[in-house]
Amino acid sequence: LLGFQNSQIINEFLFVLFLWVYIVTLFGNLLIIILVITVSALRSPMYALLSQLSLADVLLSTSITPNFLWLLLNGGGTISATGCITQFYFYGLSAGIECFTLTIMSYDRYLAICSPLHYASIMGFRLCLYMSLCSWGLGFIVSSVLNLLIYRLQFCGPFVIDHYFCDLAPLLELSCSDYKAVELTDMILGIPVVLFPFCLIIYTYVAIGLAILRISSTEGRHKAFSTCSSHLIVVCMYYGTLIAVYMAPSKGQRFNMNKILSLLYTVGTPFLNPIIYSLRNKEIKVNLVKCMLNRVIL
């Protein structure tokens, strides 16, 4: 893995920067998970889904960032073929779970704003649990199918990946086998994992937007929009970079641009998610302060 081919001074600066980002990512996401588990006021479907998103962020960041830090410190590094495919497996698993979870969260906001009277009867903990288990199960199945096909490939060199993690495209370029079946499977699986959830999210937000416009008072519109604004920001960040990397790569500078854009959703999104939800969510801020005060008093 080549990583970023910069001077040692720049790599050391990036190492310190991304080490700090990784620590904040783990702390922020684990804090949200602990708050949702321990604080009774946050035990609702919306916050249960937020804790699942945080768990997916921890998995995504941990599958990429530690090895990335090692590459920065050493100006590149080696990884076994099995280790490379394993890293891609956990990356694909966490990315799939993140896509499904963001979709479920958009459906939750759709019900809360468009059908508030039916929200409690529809979006109960049982449905939330079923959808969460389905998102993990589908993520596991999709990632397993793709990795089983990759394991059947033969790799005959050159054994150099111009990236900071084992993504699919640079990994397939090392294969001397026919990998058209892998690319076709990846494209087919991308429909239920990325395309369908993205279309569903767009539909829910169109419906949410129309419902907000029908609210007569300015205060009511602001309150309704504030309940889904954090989720909308996260969706735009995550899907924006995901589409930029996998749907519209420029052929000439593909991997250089991919490395920069990939940082946004493999490192940046898990880092920003807890910050966005914490800063824009009054309930989380209030309960966090209460927990901190209780600890100080005790």
Domain limits, the chain: 8-297
Q: Across residues 101-114, what is the average pLDDT?
A: 90
Per the structure block, which two tokens stand in for 131?
A: 């959808």
Q: Across residues 13-27, what is the average pLDDT?
A: 94
What stretches of the chain show up as alpha helix (H) in DSSP?
Answer: 8-38, 45-74, 81-114, 116-122, 125-151, 168-172, 180-190, 196-213, 218-246, 254-263, 269-279, 282-297
Residue 215 has pLDDT above 60, yes or no: yes
pLDDT band of 271, cuts 50, 70, 90: very high
Confidence at residue 71, expressed as pLDDT on a 0 to 100 scale:
92
pLDDT band of 39, cuts 50, 70, 90: confident
Confidence at residue 252, expressed as pLDDT on a 0 to 100 scale:
47
Architecture per CATH, domain 8-297, reads as Up-down Bundle (1.20)
**Based on the number of CB atoms within 10 Å of its own CB, is 190 exposed (0-12), middle (13-18) or buried (19 or more)?**
middle
Confidence at residue 87, expressed as pLDDT on a 0 to 100 scale:
93
Residue 280 has pLDDT above 70, yes or no: no
Confidence at residue 115, expressed as pLDDT on a 0 to 100 scale:
87
Cβ-contact 146, 181 below 8 angstroms: no
What pTM did the predictor assign? 0.89
Q: Across residues 64-76, what is the average pLDDT?
A: 91
